């Protein structure tokens, strides 16, 4: 049986629909078996047919895929291996090579049989946990030397109920210790955990056939690729609501990660993004209303229930208790206060600033254009309005303004830009090239068509750098890839997300199928899928690539190539890149801010590499203190290099900071730090300055040779 890939459980983009009904604990009734309907028989026949005929991967649902379907379905139901035993898994072996024969005929008996066994095991387990919880917690000995395993991938199925009991004992003990070290009072811990499992049991008893069908169907669709999903009628409605309301509330896209609600990404310029404390991969464990409302523990809740708590009217306040992404354990908590609002189009518009880079006694002026998203007002365009708003129109105006200000070069900042309009990605590229193709799109029929700038016209010809990171996706990757292929500019930053696929919605007898039907390719013939755009100059990654990015998703389509198209190269960057990289490495080795960033990244990686947590309180505290000491040492190393006062602790008086911020019209310290100490943007400016200076040197050598 294939091992559970933890990356599959941490999907970042495009899985909101599936996880509206998944939360590691499910709902239903153990008193009677859940059965499938006639409509679901018709739906599964259509779904299998559409997957085989229209999906880009062109996979046949045969014995091989049937075997994978069984493994994936079981892993989806019980990813932590805490409900099924080895005997249950052996019983399911009879379905391994028959599911591909059953589903095309509308026979769902295998999936429902497996689920009903799981459903029974789960309800009995949760009832027993709740019945014995006070006694279980009372006898926990936190002086005993034992550990809680974080490595579920290598975990085997329990050989019997006794082994499962011990897994649950350790799981509960870890939860109690985490709450204790998070500052919860002893008399609060039991009720918190009891409420958590009671809510899960309530969900179990509410489970229905539609929910089971969606899980079973999606365990098949995700074998084709992680962005292909079946949406039940209920989930289709919620999916559409979430898409239309993604710019309301706090401006965060959420997904499930086992029993936690995890931040997949932040909407650029949304309330959470502007507040600055919530980050991708943070796990939300509590939600409170207003500035003083009690924090409701939401571990084990369904995603739609958590979203409902977080949403609220514009101007109201929500407080989120989160486990920061950088920590491996659940001991560290942070409370973040966010004022709900809507994201206005003008706030997501491209913005400009001027960066001044020292060059001896002179300053090199660099124009920066920050593009949070690829937007266009389609309604205004369809109405025939001449001045409709779009990314390209805004950037064209900003380019002209920056040129009038006498900048020496341009940085296009695409960090955290998750994409948007393909049309705008193509037209934006046209501002930096004379004419030519921008992207190739290959359909599942294997037909390829191209898009780009068809007519010659004036363009910005000056030096150009494009700054990307792991959250630059889709349309951002098309633009960055085209600039790189044309050798029109230098790409710097982190490897981009790697989503190079296109989905379409197909109505079924019941619900919809979101299916991957096409794939993006660069003009060089390289796909943007999986690999993303690899920068010419790579900065340290701020994100865990096992948690974020297409490569973190199980069954993601592979990177590949098709035929390139003929295109003009605007520069011979291969001759200057070695020198650019050498300057970059020499400069960042002695830059305390950059060294600090690299050491933070390394420390976060060490934390993520932990395979187990001590359940001994003293050892657990020692582990946490060791991590805090390392973080403090890294911070003080930076401060010493900068001539700043050293710290004795990294703890901040956040309540005081928030209170002061509420009564001040001045930007907060975090906002000032972000503006003044964006080390990555500054380093992108340094790279562009190197390009300018190297160009001047080459011109000087050329002039000298010509004189001789």
Max Cα distance, the chain (Å): 96
Superfamily of domain 245-339: PDZ domain (2.30.42.10)
Task: Kindly name the residue from 485, 494, 544, 690 that is annotated as catalytic.
Answer: 485
User: For 609-666, what is each residue's pLDDT tens digit?
Assistant: 888 999 999 999 999 888 888 888 888 888 888 888 888 887 643 443 444 433 333 3
Q: Is 611 a catalytic residue?
A: no
Nearest Cα to Cα of residue 532 among 558, 513, 503: 558
The pLDDT assigned to 268 comes to 76
Q: What is the DSSP string of 461-521?
A: -S-EEEEE-TT--THHHHHHHHHHHTT-SEEEES------EEEEEEE-SSSEEEEEEEEEE
Residue 696 token pair: 């001047």
User: For 569-585, what is each residue's pLDDT tens digit?
Assistant: 998 888 899 999 999 99
Task: Kindly name the residue from 219, 329, 474, 518 that is annotated as catalytic.
Answer: 474
Task: Kindly name the residue from 269, 499, 514, 519 that is annotated as catalytic.
Answer: 499
The residue ranges of every structural domain in the chain are 8-231, 245-339, 345-571
CB of 119 closer than 8 Å to CB of 204: yes
What are the residue ranges in the chain where pLDDT is below 50? 1-30, 240-247, 652-677, 700-708
pTM of this structure: 0.81
Residue 540 token pair: 């340290």
* Long-range contacts of 582-589, Cβ-Cβ distance < 8 Å, separation of 24 or more: 583/686, 583/687, 583/690, 584/537, 584/683, 584/686, 584/687, 584/690, 587/683, 587/686, 588/683
Fold (topology level) of 345-571: 2-enoyl-CoA Hydratase; Chain A, domain 1 (3.90.226)
DSSP state of 413: E
Q: Is 474 a catalytic residue?
A: yes
The pLDDT assigned to 128 comes to 95
Q: Is 499 a catalytic residue?
A: yes
C-beta atoms surrounding 534 within 10 Å: 15
Give the position of tokens 């001027």: 354
User: For 190-244, what is each residue's pLDDT tens digit?
Assistant: 999 999 999 889 888 888 999 999 999 999 999 999 999 999 887 665 554 444 3
Residue 80 token pair: 């932590």
Residues with Cβ within 8 Å of residue 289, at least 6 apart in sequence: 309, 312, 316, 317, 318, 319
């Amino acid at each position: 049986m294939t091992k559970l890939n933890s990356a599959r459980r941490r999907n970042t983009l495009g899985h909101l629909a599936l996880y509206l009904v998944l939360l590691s604990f499910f709902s239903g009734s153990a008193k009677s078996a859940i059965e499938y309907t006639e409509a679901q028989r018709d739906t599964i026949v259509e779904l299998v047919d559409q997957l085989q005929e229209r999906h880009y991967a062109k996979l046949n649902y045969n014995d091989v895929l049937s075997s994978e379907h069984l493994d994936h379905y079981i892993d989806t139901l019980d990813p932590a291996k805490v409900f099924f035993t080895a005997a249950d898994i052996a019983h399911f072996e009879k379905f391994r090579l028959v599911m591909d024969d059953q589903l095309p005929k509308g026979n769902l008996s295998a999936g429902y049989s497996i689920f009903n066994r799981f459903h029974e095991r789960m309800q009995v387990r949760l009832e027993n946990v709740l019945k014995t919880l006070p006694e279980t917690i009372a006898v926990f000995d936190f002086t005993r030397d034992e550990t809680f395993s974080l490595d579920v991938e290598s975990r085997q199925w329990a050989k019997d109920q006794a082994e499962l009991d011990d897994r649950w004992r350790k799981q509960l003990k870890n939860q109690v210790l985490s709450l204790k070290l998070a500052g919860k009072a002893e008399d609060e811990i039991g009720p918190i955990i009891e409420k958590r499992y009671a809510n899960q049991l309530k969900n179990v008893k509410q489970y229905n056939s539609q929910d089971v069908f969606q899980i079973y169907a999606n365990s098949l669709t995700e074998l084709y690729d992680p962005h292909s999903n079946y949406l039940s009628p209920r989930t289709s409605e919620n999916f559409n609501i979430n898409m239309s309301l993604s710019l309301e509330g706090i401006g965060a896209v959420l997904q499930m990660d086992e029993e936690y609600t995890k931040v997949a990404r932040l909407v650029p310029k949304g309330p959470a993004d502007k507040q600055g404390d919530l980050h991708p991969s943070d796990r939300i464990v509590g939600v409170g209303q207003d500035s003083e409302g009690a924090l409701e523990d939401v571990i084990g809740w369904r995603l739609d229930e958590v979203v409902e708590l977080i949403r609220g009217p514009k101007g109201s306040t929500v407080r989120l208790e989160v486990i920061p992404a950088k920590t491996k354990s659940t001991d560290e908590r942070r409370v973040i206060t966010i004022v709900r609002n809507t994201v206005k189009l003008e706030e997501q518009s491209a913005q400009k600033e001027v960066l001044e880079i020292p060059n001896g006694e002179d300053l090199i002026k660099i124009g920066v254009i920050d593009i949070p998203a690829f937007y266009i007002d389609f309604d205004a365009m369809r109405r025939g309005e001449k001045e409709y708003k779009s990314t390209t129109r805004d950037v064209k105006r900003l380019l002209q303004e920056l040129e009038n200000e006498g900048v020496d070069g341009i940085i296009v900042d695409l960090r955290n830009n998750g994409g948007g309009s393909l049309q705008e990605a193509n037209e934006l590229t046209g501002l930096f090239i004379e004419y030519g193709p921008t992207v190739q799109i290959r359909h599942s029929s294997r037909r390829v068509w191209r898009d780009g700038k068809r007519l010659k016209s004036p363009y910005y010809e000056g030096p150009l750098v494009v700054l990307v990171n792991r959250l630059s996706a889709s349309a951002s990757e098309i633009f960055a890839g085209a600039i790189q292929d044309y050798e029109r500019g230098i790409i710097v930053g982190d490897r981009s997300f790697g989503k190079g696929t296109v989905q379409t919605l197909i109505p079924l007898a019941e619900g919809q199928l979101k299916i991957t039907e096409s794939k993006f390719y660069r003009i060089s013939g390289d796909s943007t899928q999986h690999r993303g755009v690899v920068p010419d100059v790579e900065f340290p990654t701020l994100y865990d690539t096992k948690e974020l990015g297409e490569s973190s998703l199980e069954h993601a389509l592979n990177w590949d190539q098709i035929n390139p198209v003929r295109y003009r190269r605007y520069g011979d960057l291969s001759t200057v890149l070695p020198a650019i990289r050498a300057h970059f490495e020499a400069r960042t080795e002695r830059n305390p801010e950059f060294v600090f960033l690299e050491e933070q990244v390394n420390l976060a990686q060490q934390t993520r590499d932990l395979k187990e947590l001590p359940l001994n309180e003293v050892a657990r505290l020692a582990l946490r203190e060791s991590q805090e000491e390392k973080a403090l040492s890294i911070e003080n190393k930076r401060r010493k290099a900068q001539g700043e006062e050293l710290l004795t602790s990294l703890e901040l008086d956040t309540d005081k900071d928030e209170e002061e911020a509420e009564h001040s019209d001045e930007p907060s310290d975090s906002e000032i730090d972000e503006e003044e100490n964006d080390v990555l943007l500054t380093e992108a400016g340094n790279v562009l300055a190197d390009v300018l200076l190297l160009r001047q040197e080459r011109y000087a050598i050329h002039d000298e040779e010509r004189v001789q």
